[in-house]
Each structure stands twice: as C-alpha cells, then as structure tokens.
Structure 1
Amino acid sequence: MDQLSVILQRFSMSTDVFFTGNLCGIASFNREPNQGHLHLLRSGALTIVDEQGQSQLIDQPTVLYFPKPHAHRIIASEEHPPQLVCANVVYNDNSSNPIADALPSLLCFRLTDCQKMNQTAHWLFEEAFEENCGKQPMINALTDVFIIHVLRHVMHNELIQHGMLAGLAHPQLSKVLLAIHETPDHSWGLEEMAELALMSRSKFADLFKKVVGQSPGDYVIDWRITVAKSLLLQDKPVALVANAVGYENGSALARVFRKKLNMSPKEWLELK
C-alpha cells in the first residue's frame, strides 16, 4: 500500500458540501473542532480574510483549503460575485488528523496548477450547478476525490518542505515512514530504519530530522501515540491498544502518555 493510503485508511476524513452558488456580502466561518474548510472558486472574485486579519484578493479559479480549524471570512466582490462550492472537511476519528496537522493553515493555489485537480473541479462544478438526481452524494464524493488530488499535488510538487508530508515525498525517507505507519507495533531501531533508507545511521538520522523535523525515535513514539488515540476513541481496551502500538502492556503505554501528554490514556479519553 502507498504512503498516503495507509494514513487515509487509518485516519478517515470526509467532506460535506454545504454551499453551492453565487455568494453575496460576507460569509464568516468559525473554528469547529476536528473540522477544516474547502472553498472552490469557479468564477468571479472574493477577498479571503484569515483569523489574523490578513486579506488576499482572489479573482481566478482557485482552491482555498483550510486543513485545520481556522476562523476566516469571505468577502464577495459586488462587481463580480463569486460562484463557489464550499465544503466542511470532517475528521471522523474525533481527534487530530496527522495529514491536517502536517499542512499549513491555508493552502491556496489556482485550479489550473494541476490537470487532475482542474478536471475533478470541472466535474464537481457541473454537478453542483445542475439539478440532477443524486446531486448531494455525487458532489460530496467528488469533493472527497478532489481533496486527494490536492494532497497528491502538495506531495508531488514538494510544496511542503518540512514535516511528515515532506518526508512522504522524499524517495528514501518515504520507505521508512510507510513501514512505520503500517506497523507501529514493530520494535523500530535506528539501524533497521537506516537500512530501509539505504543510508548510514548518522546520515539517515540527520536527514530525517532535517526533513521531518524530529528524530526517528521521537517520530515513532509520536506516531504510536497518534494511533493509540484513534484506537482508544474506538473503545478498544487499553491493553489491546498498547499491544497494537508496540508496548507490552497498558502500564507501558501509560508511561509514554504521561511523558508526552502529562496524563494517562484514561485521563486523555475522559477529555474527549
């Protein structure tokens, strides 16, 4: 399985289109837990204002993707009202999503920057602005596909220079990250990871930290905690979760949780 599919299968995300049409005036979007926003501009012009008050005029077919909860406003042009498709991006595990966490607060690029993305947007706009049967599930499905094209575009063009997605885009580091993501229960050592990357231990460790932003060992621990959180939210027993992410028992997992999060798995779960 490829590196992106492993994460998308383990940490599901889906879209829910809530607006299609010409926007008038100002639309405000609040921070919503475990949710991002996607806006596709088909025509017209708008000004996007983020929660820091920074504004940007958009007057060409564009994708505006807020991967994480982020308050923002869209101000429609009076002279050229924007025609939009707007969707919520929902992270279904009720926890942080590693892909969203690896992205900047806003991704903004023209639809023409990527042929596949532009093609999918064309199909989406056709469905959104016509009255065909099965319209809502169709536009939701097309928006799900569109998000994957966005992620592919980011990885293939190395638009993210640091973090997990940068590592997944690297020809040697991606092999290691894929193996870690697929088997968090494996006892990963530096020598084995370096062999997978076809590097010496020192070169691999330096490159991994430079690209991903943390040491290989710390990444393995953080990934195990991320997977453990997802399993805990599925009401899996702590002992089973511990085994699934490479720890002998619940006590060992609890020690890691306390070291990283200052709370036990049970205490973390009670906050959710």
Structure 2
Amino acid sequence: MDRLSYILEQLNVNAGVFFSGQLCGLASFEEEGTGYIHVLRAGSLDIIEANGEKVMLQEPTLVFSVRSQPHQLFGGHREGAELVCASVKFQTGSRNPVLEALPSVVILPLSSVQGLESFVNVLFSEAEAGREGKDAVMNRLVEVIFVNVLRHIVSEGATPKGMLSALADRQLSKVLHYINSNLNGDVSVERLADVAAMSRSTFIQHFKSLLALAPGEYVQNTRIATAKKLMLKDKPMSIIGFEVGYEDASGFSRAFKKNTGMTPRDWKKLNMTAIA
C-alpha cells in the first residue's frame, strides 16, 4: 500500500459543505475537532488567524485548516469573496499521528496543484446549478479535493517529522505496516526492532526521533484509532477489543477511556449519532 492510501485509511475522513456563495463581511470558524477547507474562486479574502496575523488572498486559492485552528475569514473588499466552505471531520478523532504530522494550515493557489482547479470548477458548478443531490455531490468533491491536497503535501515532503516521514523511512515504514496488520499479535518493542532490523535501543531512538512517541504509545494510539473505525461499522464490542489486541473487555475499556476520556459505548453512541 502506498503512503497516501495508508494515510487515508487511517484518517477515515468525512466532508460536508456548509456555505457556498459570496462572503461580504466576517465569518468565524472555531468548532473543536473540526478541520475546514475554504476554496476562493474569485474576489479577495483575508484570513485572520487566532494570534491576529493576517493573510491576504487575491487569486483563486484553497485553504485547508487541518487541526481545528480557530480563524476568521473577511470578505470586506468591494467585490467580496466567492467561496465554498466545508467542514472536514476525521472519524477516528483528532488524536491521530497522521493529523499531527500535517501542517496546521495549508494555503495553495489553485494553479500550483495539477488538476485541482478542475475539481474546484465542478464544485462551484454544482453549487450554482442547484440540481438534485447537490449536497451529496459537493461533499464527495470536497473529499476528492482533500485527497489532492494530501497528495501534494506528501509529494512535496512538507513535513520533516511525523507520520509522513516515518512512512518514507525504509525501516520504519515496515514497522508501521506491521503494527497495523498485527494489532492482536506480537507488537512488543523487541519484535518491532526485529522487523526494522535494528537493535532495541537504536530502534527506540529512531522511532522517537521521527514520530515523537515511544513505540508502545504509538501502538496504543493505533489500537484505539482502529477500534473507533470498527465501532463505526457497528461491530460487536467484544470482537473489537480482541481484534485490536486486548485480552478482555475491561482492559479494552480502560485503555479506551484513558486515550479518549470516554468509555467505548459512550464514544460510539456520540459518534454514531453525529454521522446518522
């Protein structure tokens, strides 16, 4: 599996368009746990970040706020700003090594990414036409645009540390794929060091240097993220715990609550309701 496919599998992304049209004035975006994609097709737009810094856009541009960074958009110039805005939610949650590896905000002129402008044109065409199924089509188009943004980030090597770097590392990429395929098997540090063909101490040091996590912490995070995906597929809780490497339901519940602050059943109830 290539890096981008692996990343998308880990994120389990859903996009939802909530605004399309002319923005004249100020709009704020602060919802916790939500990323945003803003696409400027025409006009000019100011992005005001939480620290007060301002970025001015005067050409067709895509803005991807990855980790729920509070920000404001201002389309206050004479012509305003022609925009589509969408929320991007990750069903496995924001505590995800992939998300942490991405830049917090990505700003890309549409002309800088091959093919991106074509998808954006179709997106605006759907917004303007008002045909049946418009919302569903626009949401899928935003997900395709999201994939193209990730492809650009991966190909440009824009993240010197974190998951993307680890996936590009010959030894650690084997380890990450091994962990993902063997969550209910032997994922001890000794076994992972063997997979990487490194000594135990060298492996731990190398792993931490790229992922800023100890191997055991990464395994636990991956187990919980995988459990979330299985829960959203409505698999029985007892089977999920075993599949992600816990010997009994109580051990799984304790680990899940430590990672998320919620019991598995409470998390499932909340998130199944949110996507219903």
TM-score bracket for the superposition, by shorter chain length:
0.7 to 0.9
1: distance between equivalents of 2:269 and 2:134?
A: 39
* Distance in 1 of aligned mates of 2:26 and 2:74: 5
Task: Find the aligned partners of 1:123 and 1:158 in 2 and give their Cα distance.
Answer: 28
Gaps of 5+ in 2: 272-276
Deviation at 1:160, TM superposition (A): 1.7
Cα pair distance change 1:199/1:115, threshold 3 Å: farther
The AA in structure 2 aligned to 1:248 is E
**Secondary structure of the corresponding residue to residue 70 of structure 1:** coil
- Structure 2 equivalent of residue 16 of structure 1: 16
Pairwise CA distance, 1:107 = 2.0
Deviations 1:38-60 (A, max 9, x none): 10112221111123333211222
What residue in structure 1 maps to residue 252 of structure 2?
253
Q: What are the Cα deviations for residues 139-170 of structure 1, in whole angstroms up to 9, with x where unaligned?
A: 22221111011112112222122222332343
Residue 80 to residue 172, structure 1, CA distance change in 2 (3 Å)? farther
Q: What are the residue-to-residue correspondences of 1:1-272 with 2, within 5 Å?
A: 1-6=1-6, 8-9=8-9, 11-31=11-31, 33-92=32-91, 95-96=93-94, 98=96, 99-130=98-129, 134-232=133-231, 236-254=235-253, 256-257=255-256, 265=264
1:58 and 1:136 map into 2 onto residues whose CA distance is 26
Change (3 A) 1:171 1:23: farther
Amino acid at match of 1:18: F
SS at match of 1:68: coil
TM-score normalised by L of structure 2: 0.80
Report deviation, 1:247: 1.9
> Between Structure 1 and Structure 2, which shows a larger proportion of helix residues?
2
Query: Taking structure 1 as reference, are residues 41 and 270 closer, same or farther at Cα in structure 2, changes over 3 Å only?
Result: closer
Runs of 5+ consecutive residues of structure 1 not aligned to the other structure: none
Aligned to 2:274: none
Q: TM-score, normalised by structure 1?
A: 0.81
Cα–Cα, structure 1 residues 244 and 3, in superposed 2: closer, same or farther, change >3 Å? farther
Q: Partner amino acid for 1:143? A: V
* Contact 1:6–1:182, Cα closer than 8 Å, also in 2: no
Percent of aligned pairs with the same amino acid = 37
Preserved CA contact (<8 Å) 1:64 1:106? yes
Q: How large is the Cα RMSD of the aligned pairs?
A: 3.2
| Number of equivalences | 270
Shift of 1:200: 4.5
Cα offset for 1:114?
1.9
**Is residue 91–residue 228 contact of structure 2 (8 Å, CA) maintained in 1?**
no
Tell me which amino acid in the other structure corresponds to 1:190.
Answer: V
- CA drift of 1:8 comes to 3.4
Q: Is the 8 A contact 1:34 1:90 kept in 2?
A: yes
